[in-house]
DNA sequence: CATGAAAATGCGAAGGG
DNA sequence: CCCTTCGCATTTTCATG
């Protein structure tokens, strides 16, 4: 099992800053938190080494790339044991951006991004429901995403 | 309405690289894509200006910060019109990391991160269900998140 | 944890195809 | 018009105290 890594207030401050903007200069954080740039550097390296920080990425606006439709889909399999093979096939669909193994009403829960409702329909019928392990699906269309943030360190 | 912005293959390549690692040097991308570093710079600036790229962030491992429980919660309101006031209250809960306005079975759909099942129970009862606009909730616990990526540019 | 210097990177002007 | 070359400014990185 994973266990939480100990981090202090300075780590937390740095992490918060980097979670808002991964390219803030160390010197700026240093000034803000009253330490030297090198100290910031050391802390970031430590958090990288301990895998608290696993990478960086640019934040893109999916709408401007033409992805207008976002939805969640609950998937039921004929047999729960087919989880792995179903997942492998889901992984090959670019439209599937997130997948969760869940308890409760569904076996797998996925988040899907499409260019249009027509594409969603196509993906649902010809890709998702074409997976032989899939028994049924339930779709939840998102019209808006008013909250989207990270956990508080 | 938003409309997709025109980007060419080079933009797409750069975007892909930056979506994997926001700190890859321009010079390296330049070599990889056979253009000059300055061109990469110009393209990135263009995509920033057109809001395709809205920022950068470090990717953190929530488990190592102690967030062991991830779940989705479908929320039903007494009245759909209370959406805004309910959302405002949800926004004040740090545990709520995403919220979606959805069609179908629920009025609001949220993603929640907690330190433990006990904390989840506490948040559910004392925070979420304490919101007066909330009629009922349905919880979906995620045990694993095998796919988590971005849309393909 | 700070200092300071060396190396790497980002940035933008000016000119060429 | 887009791309490149080039030089300066900023930032990262690391050895040392």
Does pLDDT of A114 surpass 80?
yes
Q: Which nucleotide does the CA of B28 lie closest to, via C1'?
A: C9
Select the residue from A25, A58, A63, A76 to test the B interface by mutation, using most B Cβ atoms within 10 A.
Answer: A58
Burial grade of A111 (CB within 10 A; 0-12, 13-18, 19 or more): buried
Please compute the mean of the pLDDT values over residues A105-109 and round it to a whole number. 95
Average pLDDT, chain A: 95
| pTM exceeds 0.75 for this model | yes
Per-residue pLDDT, B142:
96
Does pLDDT of B35 surpass 70?
yes
Q: How far apart are the C-alpha atoms of B64 and B61, rounded to whole Å?
A: 6
Q: List Cβ neighbours of A117 (8 Å cut-off, separation of 6 or more).
A: A69
B152 has a chain A CB within 8 A of its CB: yes
Same fold, B9-50 and B62-142: no
Per-residue pLDDT, A3:
73
pLDDT in tens, B88-102: 999 999 999 999 999
> Cβ separation of A99 and B68 shorter than 8 Å?
no
Query: Where residue A1 falls among pLDDT bands split at 50, 70, 90?
Result: low
pLDDT in tens, B1-28: 567 788 999 999 999 999 999 999 999 9
Percentage of residues in chain B with pLDDT exceeding 70?
A: 99
How many CB atoms sit inside 10 A of residue A65's CB? Answer: 20
At the top level of CATH, the class of B9-50 is: mainly alpha
The residue count of chain B comes to 153
Per-residue pLDDT, B2:
66
Percentage of residues in chain A with pLDDT exceeding 70?
A: 99
A117 has a chain B CB within 8 A of its CB: no
Contacts of B90 in chain A (CB under 8 A): 147
> Cβ separation of A150 and B97 shorter than 8 Å?
yes
B17 touches strand C (CB under 7 A): no
Query: Where residue A6 falls among pLDDT bands split at 50, 70, 90?
Result: confident
B120 has a chain A CB within 8 A of its CB: no
B7 touches strand D (CB under 7 A): no
> Cβ separation of A54 and B61 shorter than 8 Å?
yes
Q: How far apart are the C-alpha atoms of B144 and B118, rounded to whole Å?
A: 19
Contacts of A61 in chain B (CB under 8 A): 51-54
Task: Give the architecture (CATH level 2) of A62-142.
Answer: 2-Layer Sandwich (3.30)
pLDDT in tens, A7-26: 999 999 999 999 999 999 99
Q: What would the 3-class secondary structure string for chain B be?
A: CCCCCCCCHHHHHHHHHHHHCCCCCHHHHHHHHCCCHHHHHHHHHHHHHCCCEEEEEEEECHHHHCCCEEEEEEEEECCHHHHHHHHHHHHCCCCEEEEEEECCCCCEEEEEEECCHHHHHHHHHHHHCCCCCEEEEEEEEEEEEEEECCCCC
* Domains of chain B by residue range: 9-50, 62-142
Percentage of residues in chain B with pLDDT exceeding 90?
A: 95
Alpha-carbon distance A15 to nearest alpha carbon in chain B (angstroms):
8
By Cβ distance, the residue of A50, A59, A105 closest to B54 is: A59
Considering only A4-8, A60-64, A83-87, B78-82, which range has the smallest mean pLDDT? A4-8
Q: How far apart are the C-alpha atoms of A85 and A67, rounded to whole Å?
A: 27
B20 has a chain A CB within 8 A of its CB: yes
Average pLDDT, chain B: 95
Measured from Cα to the C1' atom, the residue closest to C9 is B25
Per-residue pLDDT, A2:
64
Q: How far apart are the C-alpha atoms of A38 and A131, rounded to whole Å?
A: 52
Per-residue pLDDT, A104:
87
């Amino acid at each position: 099992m994973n266990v939480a890594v100990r981090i202090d207030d300075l780590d937390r401050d740095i992490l918060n800053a980097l979670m808002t903007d991964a390219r803030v200069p160390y010197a700026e954080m240093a000034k803000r938190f009253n330490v030297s740039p090198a100290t910031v550097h050391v802390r970031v390296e430590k958090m990288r080494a301990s895998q608290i920080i696993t990478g960086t990425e640019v934040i893109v606006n999916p709408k401007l790339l033409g992805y207008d439709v976002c939805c969640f889909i609950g998937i039921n399999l004929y047999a729960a044991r087919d989880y792995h093979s179903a997942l492998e096939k889901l992984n090959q669909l670019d439209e599937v951006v997130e997948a969760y193994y869940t308890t409760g009403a569904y076996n797998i829960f996925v988040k899907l991004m499409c260019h249009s409702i027509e594409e969603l329909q196509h993906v649902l019928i010809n890709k998702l429901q074409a997976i032989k392990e899939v028994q049924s699906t339930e779709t939840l269309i998102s019209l808006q995403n008013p909250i989207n943030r990270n956990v508080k360190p």
